[in-house]
Structure 1
Amino acid sequence: MFENVMLILLAILVLLMFAVPAFITFRLYFHDKRQDEHSILRNYPILGKARYVLEKMGPELRQYLYNEDNSGKPFNRREFTFVNVAGKYNSRMIGFGSNRDFESNGYYIANTLFPTQYEELRVVQEPKIKTYLYEIDENKLFTRKEHRKEDKLDPFYLPEEDQIVIGENTVKHPFKTRGLIGQSAMSFGSLGDHAITALSKGLGMAGGTWMNTGEGSLTSYHLKGDVDVIMQIGPGLFGVRTKDGDFSWEEFKKKAEVEQVKAFELKLGQGAKTRGGHVAAKKVTEEIATIRDVEPHEDIDSPNRFHQFDNVKEMLSFIQELREIGGKPVGIKIVVGAEDEVEDMIKIMSEEQSVPDFITVDGGNGGTGASYFELADSAGLPTFAALPLVHDLMIKYQIRDKTHIIASGQLVTPDKIAMALSLGADMVNIARGFMISVGCILAEVCHTNNCPVGVATTDPKLQKALEIEEKKYRTCNYLVSLREGLYNLAIAAGVDTPRKFARQHIKYKKELSQIHSVSDHLSTSNHDDVRNEKKY
């Protein structure tokens, strides 16, 4: 009897093992055959699903298996690895040689036969920065052991006589900084509070830098670390608006009274989205809605431009009013498109003898939390094309020594920063490099609120992945490593400070090893490199 029962159960089990898969296969076959959405599934039921599986896995397969060290956009594997290694180990060492494609067109630093000696550098190395670095104990195929240790880093500050002073002759409270590298505009909302806090604390530890709030307004998270802040004001006026959406001078004065806020930036444009900003509804939490004074859980779309002014003269008047009421420097952020339009703007500044305290030149290759394909790919000149154009036009109209240029757009390594300085920038902004330092893995889902590492998301569950007290050290280490690398390139170029990088320190190599001066390559006149600070 017992044996018969067991045989029956076994038969049923075997039947289910074959019947259930057969039934599922049968259902899937007829579902695919009859559906209207996918053509390939109508002709190849079930088998056609392999296409969609591989399509879904494609980005990860390319990133981790198929992309070579120099391929992959917006950052290749070499650049991504550089940020990670600099942040975790404060190291820029490589072995055997460079993987750069030296046959392709590109910029190169013009080294000298007689480099600067280390003791000749204009640099301040006190006080030391207390941080944590990792050391690898064992690195095998399936095991990796490392430990974290406390360390002290040389800060690589500019000496006081070389520091950048913004608004020295225009406002009551000029902004002074002893570093050339800061964090570009990234709003709370585009990034989560964990990421903003980790960045604030890490930048504050490093010192000699600044943090741009992005157009989403100043928040308590930006102030968590002891870091200087540039508050960005976009056309949406978030943080400085009335209930009706008009500009609020009362709110502006409140922000100007915050000690950590050192300057303001009017966002006329952004490289990756030359229209107004966008934040998806799923990112707009109750907290973000309160900060921005908008409705929660609804898309946020900023106007394409400010309603407070319609031309350059009105913009300059508005800037002057902001200076007088806030007492702090005011700059603008632009994206260069039409050269004649930029020239008209600079010409009017010269005629009016009224110039913003700084101009951020954002390349069309810059980053964004959300943009439209057509804008990100085609609108706005890239950084290295836009930057010398603005620099040379300001020299032409004799206002270059009255302001500062901040460059932004894919400047995540010391060599790119040195090139930007050589092409006319006084300072540089970095956004995505700092995102990588706090854990970004280039998943490219910033617009979905589904960032797998908790950086570009406001989802509390996903943000648990980002440990603030760990990532703040990565941010600090990455920034200090950039500054050290920049000084190394200054040594190679034969100057004693990165502030002396100029057009003669960079060359452009075309195919067939044709070497050109940058002025020839850009088809610009070789202007004297006049900067705002003293002439060295």
Structure 2
Amino acid sequence: MNIITSAYFWISLLIILIVIRDVFIQKSHTITHNFPIVGHIRYWLERIGPELRQYIVANNREELPFNRQERSWIYASSKNENNLQGFGTDQDFSSPGYIFIKNAMMGFNPAKNHLYHQNPGVLPAAKVIGLYHNRAKPFRPYSIVNISGMSFGSLSAKAVESLNKGALLAGCYHNTGEGSLSPYHQNGADVMLNIGTAYFGVRELDGRFSMEKLKQKVEENPCIKAIELKLSQGAKPGKGGMLPKSKINKEIAEIRHIPLGQDAMSPAFHSEFSTVPEMVEFIESMANETGLPVGVKSAIGKLEQWEELASYMEKHGKGPDFITIDGGEGGTGAAPHAFADHVSMPFTFAFAKVYQIFQRHNLTDKIFFIASGKLGFPEKALMAFAMGADSIHIAREAMMSIGCIQAQKCHTNHCPTGIATSNKWLQAGIDVTLKSERYYRYHYTLVKEIAEIAHACGYEHPTQMTMDDIEWSMGDNNRTMALSKALGYTKTETTYAGLEELVKCPHLGGLNARKRLSL
């Protein structure tokens, strides 16, 4: 009884102290001044509101950016658990934009000795990057699905390491993000080096681009198979970034080639070029000096400069080897809400408009198109392939496969899963061996299901899909429309020699994965 009395005493004393503080001392919050106890409960409920809605209030198909059904499929796939669903679909077939994939009466049935049966999770890209421009080191990605750019610093060291080791198992490449190549990207997987507006990792301390440092980085790291020049990204096109000095430790400063004790600023635009011809010459100089294919990544808004680029490439026969189209719905990094919500077009319209420009200039068979923007699900990936994509990049889906719970705290440094934070304590919960295996399982399942649906449609490879194989619900009178009619074009037919020929390609990446599978 004395224990209970003592507990009541201390609780009452605490409440009295809170009331005194809120009413007589603090001036910041009117709610807690007027309602000292209820006010604190209100702020606490507001703080955990996203979690309450996520797990209690919202239905399976309601949440954004990713609903519970999508997250559950990724989690189950990554853990090698049952990812099937029973008792039919709970989707609204008549909702605008709903994807219908048209299966064949008799699909493609792989023979018993077909490579698909050896490993259903292996599906190389149908095109080679850099072949048209005669780069010294052309590159065929070992996988049609690869990890998009997420920088060390934006993601934790253990998260980057987990993804890279998972990429090694899957054979896919790992884009570094603009934070440059870190030790955590160097665990055996192929790497795409992303170069942003601040030229992190390949710059002088004053921020100027250094070709010598780029050449040295490529020579010292044969894992780098291609270079991606970032013009903008879906989360915040036309907006630079800042890594506060409080987050910059010695390791990050050395990797990015930036001084300690200063905020790391990413300008909104590149300082090495300001016109299309200047950009093409910059791309050509990097390709010539390194021998690697070089491409550009961009969110899409105005199209005039894309028209100019296509015309310049057709006339002069030089330019980017690949183009990564990032939808405006992307966003692993923090961004002002107006940029995240309203600037740049969503993937479907962005890709369609840019693809048509290059198609009019007879360049679509010469450029490798990479699609990005919430495409880490079989049906969305297949729609992208039907539209003309040669591969897809995944970011947040990859994060979820290693434990991200969509807490939406990436910008606070308080990510509860340790994935998007530099906090050592929060990172401690990440088991790299386990998480790398989980990314691999998710990647394997995604590629396998993409292949299975392509087979159901009568194709061996998803890039054989046509825009008439996909229909959209128009949302009225149960009417559907083929992508070719809805988007106003038919993609250029992919030249495809067969899976056997793809895996024999001398430019094929994923060497360590190939050795494991004896391919």
Same fold, TM exceeding 0.5? yes
Deviation at 1:20, TM superposition (A): 5.3
Letter in 2 for 1:515: T
3-state SS of paired residue (1:216): coil
- Aligned counterpart for 1:492 among listed residues 437, 456, 459: 456
Counterpart of 1:287 in structure 2 is 251
- Residue of structure 1 equivalent to 2:511: none
Secondary structure of 1:398's partner?
coil
CA gap of 1:330–1:91, structure 2 versus 1, over 3 A, is farther
Q: Shift of the alpha carbon at 1:18?
A: 6.4
Secondary structure, in 3 states, of the residue corresponding to 1:168? coil
Question: RMSD over aligned Cα, in angstroms?
Answer: 2.5
Structure 1 window deviating more from structure 2 (436-445 vs 84-93): it is: 84-93
Give CA-to-partner distance per residue, 1:5-61, whole Å, 9 cap, x none: xxxx97x996x7666555544443344334433233344332232211211121111
1:367 to 331, 335, 352: 331
* Alignment correspondent of 1:214: 177
Match of 1:235 in 2: 197
Residue 155 of structure 1 aligns to a residue in which SS?
A: coil
Structure 2 distance, partners of 1:267, 1:121, is 43
User: Cα gap change, 1:169/1:347 in structure 2, threshold over 3 Å: closer, same or farther?
Assistant: closer
110 and 18 in structure 1: CA distance in 2 versus 1, 3 angstrom threshold = closer
Q: Which residue of 1 aligns with 2:50?
A: 59
Q: Which has the higher contact order (CA 8 A, sep 6+)?
A: 2
Unpaired segments of 5 or more residues in structure 1? Answer: 1-8, 129-153
Structure 1 window deviating more from structure 2 (498-507 vs 112-121): it is 112-121
Please report how far the alpha carbon of residue 242 of structure 1 lies from its aligned counterpart in structure 2 after TM superposition.
1.4
SS in 2 for 1:402: coil
The DSSP-based 3-state class of the residue aligned with 1:40 is helix
Instruction: Give the counterpart letter for 1:235 in structure 2.
Output: T
How many residues are treated as equivalent by the alignment? 494
Mapped pair 1:155 → 2:121: yes
SS of residue paired to 2:222:
coil
Q: Percent identity?
A: 35
Equivalent position of 1:379 in the other structure: 343
- 2:213 paired residue number: 251
Q: 2:162 aligns with which of 198, 212, 227?
A: 198
Structure number having the greater strand percentage: 1
The aligned counterpart of 2:355 is 391
Aligned to 2:269: 305
Deviation at 1:91, TM superposition (A): 4.7
Q: Distance in 2 between matches of 1:443 and 1:528?
A: 38
- Which whole-Å CA distance do the structure 1 matches of 2:113 and 2:343 have between them? 40
The letter for the 1-side match of 2:31 is I
**Cα displacement (A) at 1:530:** 4.1
1:383 is displaced (CA, Å) by 0.8
User: Where in structure 2 are the equivalents of 1:98-497 lying within 5 Å?
Assistant: 98-119=89-110, 124-125=115-116, 154-158=120-124, 163-170=126-133, 171-207=135-171, 209-224=172-187, 226-257=188-219, 258-274=221-237, 275-296=239-260, 298-497=262-461
Q: 1:200 to 1:320 in 2, by over 3 A?
A: same
Q: Distance in 2 between matches of 1:476 and 1:336?
A: 31
Matched position secondary structure for 1:176: coil
Secondary structure of 2:105's aligned partner = coil
Flag the structure with larger Rg.
1
Counterpart for residue 480 of structure 2 = 515
Find the residue that maps to 1:513 and give its secondary structure: coil
In structure 2, the residue matched to 1:29 is 19
The residue aligned with 2:36 is 45
Kindly provide the amino acid, as one letter, of the partner of residue 53 in structure 1.
W
- TM-score, normalised to structure 2, is 0.89
Listed one character per residue, the Cα deviations across residues 418-476 of structure 1 (whole Å, up to 9, x for unaligned) are 11111221110001111111111111111222222221122222211100111111011
The answer as to whether partners of 1:188 and 1:219 remain within 8 angstroms in 2 is yes
Q: Report the alpha carbon displacement of residue 120 of structure 1 after superposing the two structures with TM.
A: 5.7
Does the 8 Å contact 1:395/1:527 carry over to 2? no
Q: Which moved more, 1:490-499 or 1:118-127?
A: 118-127
- The 2-side partners of 1:111 and 1:272 are apart by 32
